[in-house]
Chain A
Amino acid sequence: MAHHVHNQRMTITAGAPPAQGPRADHALGFVTGGVIGASLTAFVSGCVVGKASLIVGGLVLPAVTGLLFLLVTQPRRAREAAAVPRTALAVIESLEAVEGVASDVPTRFELSVAPDDGPAFRVEVRQSVNRVELTDYRPRGIVVVEYPPDRPWKLRIVRRPTPEWEERAAGARVDSVPGPAMRSESPAGCAGCFLTLLGLLLGVAAVLLLFRADLFDRDEGKGGAAPEPTVSSSTFATSMTSETGTVTLDPGRSMLDEGELRAAVESLTQGADRHGAFTLVAQERLLTVVFAPEGLSGFDPRSLPYDRLPALVEEAGNGAGSRRSWQLTAENVTGSVTLRIVVTGDRGTRTLEADEHGKVLSRSGS
């Protein structure tokens, strides 16, 4: 701390910490969870299937997110760093130390702070104090404190004041300030952990869903043990995040059978108060619908031309030889719904794109 900092102009001291603190923390936790989930899944699955782009993506994603975060928070950090801290005297109203084995003792202080050039205020802070120095702090004792003028709840007790402030503190008397104390933002509680976990799960789900063709194609080709013949609708989240619904058919049945896919879609959409779909992915015996989060519109998954699907899959598979697997992906990234059908046969892979009425737009293949 320096001599020349105490005669700064007065901005604000009173008022509670801004409310967006915890909310921003929650959002950050959610995004961090999502990035960790997605990048770990991408990296591990990339290593398993030997796909360089997934491995590199898994490594680049957290780096890019971190960089973006730094860039976004740069103006705020610069502003905070430029703020000249203010030094003042304060009286300890109460303190509560949680003594353990460690030499640093986490301590909660309630202080009445009396700045030279502004209204006095009361604040509650947490600070670690060395076990030996703890005896220096007692109720009604005078301490020197330092805080950013615009965020007084970030106050810090100065352990080693300059001689000038040491003298002032020795002879000073500071009056108590009545009323509730300002508090630093409480640490993110259960909701924060839950959102981070949710982000993690969604990150994992997103990667698995986006790259399911790459990740699961090999297994389907082998025709191994059938997965559990169940119809399940799993809900990852409520309110602010998206939901995913999955339907698995019994062995021997196919989504291409008459009415099967439509019935599966209906089973996911009926009853629940769901907004449109974000993405719909259908395979021989598996249907997954990612519903749009609240506030975002999606397409109606029931509106797709399911009656045309067997013919489209047939057409898409032309030239691919005998069909081994197929996948339908429907999404409205560009504003209108597009259907993308990928068919893998023993002579290669063919892709077909169609519009929402089942009209073929393009075909390609390798």
Chain B
Amino acid sequence: MGWDGFLLLWCAAWGVAALVGYGMSLAGVTKAQRTVRLAGRIERVREPRHGGSRTGGISVVVSYRDPVTGEQVTVTNDGERGEMITVAWEGREIGVSHPRGRPHAYRFSNVPEQPGRGLGWPTFAVFLVYVGLVVLAAVDRGWPWALIGFGGPWAVYAAVHLPATIRARNDHVARLAAMETVEGSVVAVLKDVSVDQDDGHTWTTITPVVSFTTREGTVVTAHCTEKLPNAAEARGRDVTVHYAPADPAHFTLNRSAEQRSRNQDVTFNVLTIVVLAATAVVGVAFL
């Protein structure tokens, strides 16, 4: 069997996998469909330990109502528990999910999630079929088909997403403009040191933890991902925090940098479209 045969086999195998996946989704038996998604509430935020680790996020106590028993369940974010909670305040609503019938395997997400249909893997299988077909075309009919096959559809895909990127930028700009400004302080600095097993090189991550009180009186504790000058010595330092009143999880210490990064997103999206379209055009030219 030559390359053509193997590529066809590849496409057929992933095609079958995709069909099975879509079938499972229709039957309602995918992992996502068997996940119970609930809304939890942060009851208590424990003070971060100066010099501690950022892994595991901010220590919180969360409660949610079990839909089966109707009881109030209290859990903590100990160990591997889904998304890391890096912004916390008492009363914040977060997502709690667990496989059906296994409440002990709960996981957190930063916002309560909508139930999914589990189409991610089947769609990935379709993507692999597409890759196989493009390679097949390139092998059979010449290499320009690889450029057309990859450049064309992705250029269209990126173009379709451009309005969403622009809308996200505009929403973000509006949110930045509506931000309140308060004084906060660095309450702890977290330090993570890992060692490369091979050459003994050490990697150090410094994460300042800021705390600020909103105008409504909510005390927010958050990992600060923005660069602070001399971050390791930042404990006790006062900082100016801008936050979105609707959702204090959106906060920044540097409003203009946020603005720039969103503009860069749009530029990047446009550049991607241009490069991909150019790739496809080069492919057509060489046919």
Question: A190 to B103, alpha carbons, bound, how many Å?
Answer: 40
B2 at the interface (CB under 8 A from A): yes
Interface residues of B in 22-63 (CB under 8 A from A): 44, 46, 49-53, 56, 59, 61
Contact yes or no, A103 B194, CB < 8 A: yes
Stretch at the interface among B71-79, B153-161, B169-177: B71-79
Whose C-beta in chain B lies nearest to the C-beta of A57?
B6
Is B202 a contact of A101 with CB atoms below 8 Å? yes
Q: Which residue of chain B has the shortest Cβ distance to A157 in the bound complex?
A: B78
CB–CB B76/A1 < 8 A: yes
> In the complex, A3→B193 CA distance in Å?
33
Partner of B76, one of A81, A102, A160: A160
The answer to whether A158 and B49 touch across the interface, beta carbons within 8 angstroms, is: no
Residue total for A at the interface (Cβ-Cβ under 8 A): 29
* Segment touching B, from A161-169, A314-322, A342-350: A161-169
Q: How far is the CB of B33 from the nearest CB of chain A, in Å?
A: 17
- Minimum CB distance partner of B5 in chain A: A52
* Inter-subunit contact B74/A164 (CB<8 Å): yes
Q: CB of B121 within 8 A of chain A?
A: no
B44 contact set on A, CB distance < 8 A = 163
B102–A132 touching, CB < 8 Å: no
Hey, which chain A residues are within 8 Å of B59, CB to CB? Answer: 160
| Interface pair B103/A103, CB less than 8 Å apart | no
> Which of B101, B103, B202 lies in contact with A102, CB distance below 8 A?
B202
Q: Bound state CA distance, A82 and B104, in angstroms? A: 9
| CB interface residues, B 50-107, toward A, < 8 Å | 50-53, 56, 59, 61, 71, 73-79, 99, 101-106
A223 adjacent to chain B (CB < 8 Å): no
A12 within 8 A of B: no
A4 touches B71 (CB 8 A): yes
Q: Does the CB pair B77–A160 fall under 8 Å?
A: yes
B192 within 8 A of A: yes
A44-80, CB < 8 A from B: 52-53, 56
Which chain B residues border A5 with CB–CB below 8 Å?
A: 104
User: Which of A1, A84, A133, A164 lies in contact with B52, CB distance below 8 A?
Assistant: A133
CB contact list, B97-119 vs A, under 8 A:
99, 101-106
**Least CB distance, A115 to chain B, in whole angstroms:** 16
Bound form: Cα–Cα A8–B99 in Å: 19
Interface pair B52/A130, CB less than 8 Å apart: yes
Cβ–Cβ contact A156 & B102, under 8 A: no
Does B195 interact with chain A (Cβ within 8 Å)? yes
Which of A2, A4, A53, A85 sits near B1, CB closer than 8 Å? A53
Please tell me if the beta carbons of A4 and B73 are within 8 angstroms of each other in the complex.
yes
**B99 proximity list for chain A (CB < 8 A):** 81
B residues touching A (Cβ–Cβ < 8 Å)?
1-3, 6, 44, 46, 49-53, 56, 59, 61, 71, 73-79, 99, 101-106, 191-195, 202
Q: Is the CB of A52 within 8 A of B73?
A: no
CA distance A171 to B148 in the complex (A): 71
Partner of A163, one of B61, B104, B191: B61
Bound Cα distance A131, B50 (Å): 11
Chain A minimum-CB-distance residue to B202: A101
Q: How far is the CA of A5 from the CA of B74 in the complex (A)?
A: 11
A-B pairs with beta carbons under 8 A, tally: 75
B49 surroundings in chain A (CB, below 8 A):
132-133
Sample 17 A-B pairs with CB under 8 A, ordered by A number: A2-B74, A3-B74, A3-B75, A52-B3, A84-B104, A100-B195, A101-B195, A102-B193, A103-B192, A131-B51, A132-B51, A159-B56, A159-B78, A160-B76, A162-B75, A163-B44, A163-B61
Complex formed: what's the CA distance from A152 to B105 in Å?
A: 18
Does A81 lie within 8 Å of B105, measured CB to CB? yes
A303 to B137, CA, bound (A): 54
CA distance A84 to B106 in the complex (A): 12
Tell me the residues in window 1-18 of chain A with beta carbons closer than 8 Å to chain B beta carbons.
1-5
Residues of A with C-beta under 8 A to B3:
52
Per-position binary interface string of chain A over residues 76-105, scored 1 when its CB falls under 8 Å from any chain B CB and 0 otherwise: 000001101100000000000000111110
Q: Are B73 and A3 in contact (CB under 8 A)?
A: yes
A 227-238 to B, binary, CB cutoff 8 A, 1 in contact else 0:
000000000000
> A4-B73, A102-B202 are contacts. A156–B79 as well, Cβ < 8 Å?
yes
List residues of chain A with CB within 8 A of the CB of B73: 2-4
Closest to A85 in B: B104
- Least Cβ–Cβ distance between B14 and chain A, in angstroms: 12
Give the complex CA separation of A5 and B75 in angstroms. 11
Tell me whether B46 and A160 are in contact (CB under 8 A). yes
* Least distance between B95 CB and chain A CB atoms (Å): 16
Contacts of A81 in B (CB 8 A): 99, 102, 105
Q: Give Cα A160 to B49, complex, Å.
A: 12
**A160–B55 Cα gap in the complex (Å)?**
13
A3 to B61, CA, bound (A): 12
* Given known contacts A2-B106, A52-B2, A52-B6, A160 and B78 CB-to-CB distance under 8 angstroms: yes
**A71 shortest CB reach to chain B, Å:** 14
For residue B101, which residue of chain A has the nearest CB? A82
Given that A53-B1, A163-B61 are known contacts, is A130 also in contact with B78, CB under 8 Å in the complex? no
Residue from the list A53, A101, A158 in contact with B78, Cβ < 8 A: A158
